[in-house]
Amino acid sequence: MEAAMEQLSSGKRINTASDDAAGMAISSRITSEVKGIQMAIRNASDGQALIDTAEGAHVEIENMLQRARELAVQASNDTNSDDDRASLQLEIDQLLTEIDRTAANTSWAGKTLMGGETGGASEFSFQIGTGGAASDTVSVTIDEMSSKAIGIGTTGVSGGRATGDAGITFEDGRLTVLGVPEQGDAFTFTLNGTSISATYTTTDQYADDATGAAAQIEAAINVAVAASPTDFPGISVVNNNDGSLNITQSSVVNVDTAVVVSGSGTASIDSDNNIVTFTYGTTADAFTLDVNGITVTVAARAVTDGYSADAAGTAAKFANLVQQTVGLENVTATDHGDGTVTLTQSSAPVVEAAEVTLTSTTPLSVSYNDSSAISVAGAFVAGQTISFDLFGEEVSFVTASDDGFADTLAGVASQMAAAINEAGISGISAAKTSGANSVTLTADVNVSGAKVDSGAEFIVTTIGDAASAKIHIVGDADDTVADVTAGTNTTAAFADGDAYTFNVAGHEVKLVVDTSDGYLDTAVGVSQQMKDLIDDLGLEGLSVAVDTTATGNSAVGVTITRALNGTANAGSTVVTNVTSLAADEIGDPTFSGGIDVSTSAGAADALTRIDAALLTINTQRAELGAVSNRMEHTINNLSNVSSNLQSGLSRIQDADFAKVTGDLTKSQIMSQAATAMLAQANASKQGVLSLLQG
């Protein structure tokens, strides 16, 4: 009766090991499996939700690709003008941006699914069983889906353009090898003003592709840094193993060894904050300071140097010298106007003139004679893109058989001259060279638009069509504008707030006199300030000098020269970044953006790349869909197994209420019957005793 009462109160047949030792062990194992299966069902459901989230993002990326393809088809039609295609490109750019944002931000419970900010594939393992065997897990890889990863973004696949002749580009600290390098291709560029060169070869330890070329370039940089560490302060190179290198440098400027050459002034250095502080003694003050291993010399002061005779003037002169020193192009000198200068530099080094000298020339090639002529060589090929930078402005054109130019080298030269003139580079004109397959350039300074905002009068005189002009500052007492020629003298002073505006080569310059800016408030001081402002424009090919043909305050302005021989502005080159791509290589030729539908050829290339991207998306979606369906079947099977296991556990562990209740009732009846019979037996004895008493 006690056993029955225990089973009925607990609902379990087995309450202690003594009830059924084997049954207890079996039920314990089944309980573990049931609970494991229930959690596996939840895991599978969560995994399916994660996959469906990623697949939904893929659907939206596919929708954007379909729209981009529509735009590319539209742009392929020659009924569109250049402006029409530019408008179509605006939407293309926005679609690429949204694709990148979707890939970076799609997540499930905080886990990025399609590359995220770090890029690369995302790998997941889902536990769908109760054990540790390989069959108890499902592994899923979701590839990165950024525009770059699917081949329509800034650098395409494998770090850059994967077809055509070898090329090289540098942007935001990333140097990328493009195309297919061949034996003997020479990769050259300047790193912080120092030339670096690597010749590609297939007989070394590096891979015979763009990845190997990047590794060779990395080795060349490391050799140069080891040989002259002072020229490369804090430079480090990381090989991304995809044909690209990340080149960084320390953002801290190494400034030390301030030496007083003459005079009684001082120069002190705050190394922690890279601040140089000057004090003024006499006009004989002269200093040398080492900035990133390069000596900057502040010569003894002179009345004609344009800077005030105080600490602010010395600091202003030092800041300007730093900005103009070769090798310190990446260093920024901030003059605070109180005798102090703060030096900073970007974490990305300065890489310029990145180019590849190919072992075999393309059908058309372009070269500059460093004087005035751009020559065309090779043979005419329709659909070839020629591009180059002229004084820092891009010029590009595509050869064609129906463009109105002859299908000869002379015709290409004429087309190039037209492209240069259409580029609208201020002061630059081009014409086909008579009797030669070249273009002759003419350069003017093009100084114009001078006006007085307030203060002393201001006149600009352009000397004929020559490549130089003088800007003259005149401090007439009255407000009469007079013609000014070279050599005019003036002793007029300038007042605080005097302001002037003028244009140099199409760029506006605004000069405001400030008595505390470190410049003399005279013609020579304002002339020096004007020179510094023009230098700060960073215009390729311009040379600016203060006109100091007389003494005292007779310096009346600056002389600006634009040279075609590449000697102006200390090492600038007139024609740079020359590229020549055959028709099958067109498509983002400058690699400054993703797919480009601004030209008919670019639109055709965009169609090919978008189709490849759609294939990538569809392949990934198919894989995710297959896994999602598998998860559905897994969940159904686990649910069935769990139900059957729980039924089996119930049969082993649960009490049989009908049987146990019957047993309890039988026990209770037996107990009650025994009690009744005992009572009757006791009563019969009492009857006998009663008879005996009677």
Beta carbons of 389 and 576 less than 8 angstroms apart: yes
Confidence of residue 493 (pLDDT cuts 50, 70, 90): low
Confidence of residue 50 (pLDDT cuts 50, 70, 90): very high
Summarize the confidence of residues 379-400 as an average pLDDT. 83
What pLDDT is recorded for position 218? 93
- CA-angle at 557, arms to 553 and 562, nearest 5°: 150
What pLDDT is recorded for position 694? 58
What pLDDT is recorded for position 585? 40
Of residues 424 and 576, which shows the higher confidence score? Answer: 424
Summarize the confidence of residues 404-418 as an average pLDDT. 90
- H helix intervals, 570-599: none
Residue owning tokens 């050259």: 188
Which regions of 143-272 does DSSP assign to beta strands (E)? 167-171, 174-178, 186-191, 194-199, 236-239, 244-248, 255-262, 266-270
Confidence of residue 163 (pLDDT cuts 50, 70, 90): low
Confidence of residue 548 (pLDDT cuts 50, 70, 90): low
pLDDT in tens, 123-151: 888 988 888 787 888 888 888 888 877 87
What pLDDT is recorded for position 563? 76
What pLDDT is recorded for position 581? 61
Which residue, among 506, 570, 496, 505, has the nearest Cα to 526 in the 3D structure?
496
Alpha-carbon dihedral of residues 29, 35, 37, 40, nearest 10 degrees? Answer: -140
Beta carbons of 437 and 377 less than 8 angstroms apart: yes
- CA-angle at 142, arms to 136 and 146, nearest 5°: 170
Q: Cα separation of 218 and 198, whole Å?
A: 9
Phi/psi at 166 (nearest 5 deg)? -65, 145
Confidence of residue 549 (pLDDT cuts 50, 70, 90): low
Question: What distance, in Å, lies between the first and last C-alpha atoms of the chain?
Answer: 45
Structural domains of the chain sorted by starting position, each given as residue range(s) with its CATH number in brackets: 36-153+600-632 (1.20.1330.10), 157-360 (no CATH), 362-438 (no CATH), 447-562 (no CATH)
Instruction: Find the range with the poorest average confidence among 259-268, 588-597, 618-627.
Output: 588-597
Neighbours of 197 (CB within 10 A): 12
Confidence of residue 155 (pLDDT cuts 50, 70, 90): very low
Q: Cα separation of 583 and 66, whole Å?
A: 25
- CA-angle at 493, arms to 491 and 497, nearest 5°: 155
Confidence of residue 602 (pLDDT cuts 50, 70, 90): confident
What pLDDT is recorded for position 561? 78
Is the pLDDT at 487 greater than 60? The verdict is no
What pLDDT is recorded for position 566? 61
pLDDT in tens, 67-95: 999 999 999 888 988 888 888 888 888 88
What pLDDT is recorded for position 428? 86
Q: Cα separation of 146 and 95, whole Å?
A: 11
Beta carbons of 407 and 420 less than 8 angstroms apart: no
Is the pLDDT at 507 greater than 60? The verdict is yes
For residue 527, CA distances in Å to 297, 306, 325, 560 come to: 22, 7, 20, 12
Phi/psi at 88 (nearest 5 deg)? -65, -35
What pLDDT is recorded for position 130? 82
Q: Based on the number of CB atoms within 10 Å of its own CB, is 173 exposed (0-12), middle (13-18) or buried (19 or more)?
A: middle
Summarize the confidence of residues 283-298 as an average pLDDT. 87
Which regions of 548-637 does DSSP assign to beta strands (E)? 557-562, 575-581
Percent of the chain with pLDDT over 70: 84
What pLDDT is recorded for position 686? 74
Whole-number average pLDDT of the chain: 79
What pLDDT is recorded for position 477? 37
Confidence of residue 687 (pLDDT cuts 50, 70, 90): confident
Residue owning tokens 């559905």: 632
What pLDDT is recorded for position 466? 47
Of residues 61 and 528, which shows the higher confidence score? Answer: 61
- CA-angle at 577, arms to 540 and 161, nearest 5°: 145
Strands of the sheet containing 575-581, edge to edge, are 393-398, 385-390, 575-581
Strands of the sheet containing 447-454, edge to edge, are 447-454, 499-504, 507-512
For residue 172, CA distances in Å to 115, 332, 520, 592, 630 come to: 20, 17, 39, 11, 44
Is the pLDDT at 417 greater than 90? The verdict is yes
Summarize the confidence of residues 150-162 as an average pLDDT. 55
Confidence of residue 547 (pLDDT cuts 50, 70, 90): low
Summarize the confidence of residues 316-335 as an average pLDDT. 84
Summarize the confidence of residues 411-423 as an average pLDDT. 92
What pLDDT is recorded for position 479? 33
Which regions of 419-479 does DSSP assign to beta strands (E)? 428-432, 438-443, 447-454, 457-462, 468-474
Q: Cα separation of 670 and 172, whole Å?
A: 96
Is the pLDDT at 560 greater than 60? The verdict is yes
Residue 279, helix vs strand vs coil: strand
What pLDDT is recorded for position 135? 82
Is the pLDDT at 574 greater than 80? The verdict is no
What pLDDT is recorded for position 458? 61
Confidence of residue 344 (pLDDT cuts 50, 70, 90): confident
Beta carbons of 138 and 47 less than 8 angstroms apart: yes
What pLDDT is recorded for position 475? 47
Q: At what angle do helices 2-10 and 657-693 cross, to 10 degrees?
A: 150
What pLDDT is recorded for position 432? 94
Summarize the confidence of residues 288-293 as an average pLDDT. 85
Beta carbons of 583 and 398 less than 8 angstroms apart: no
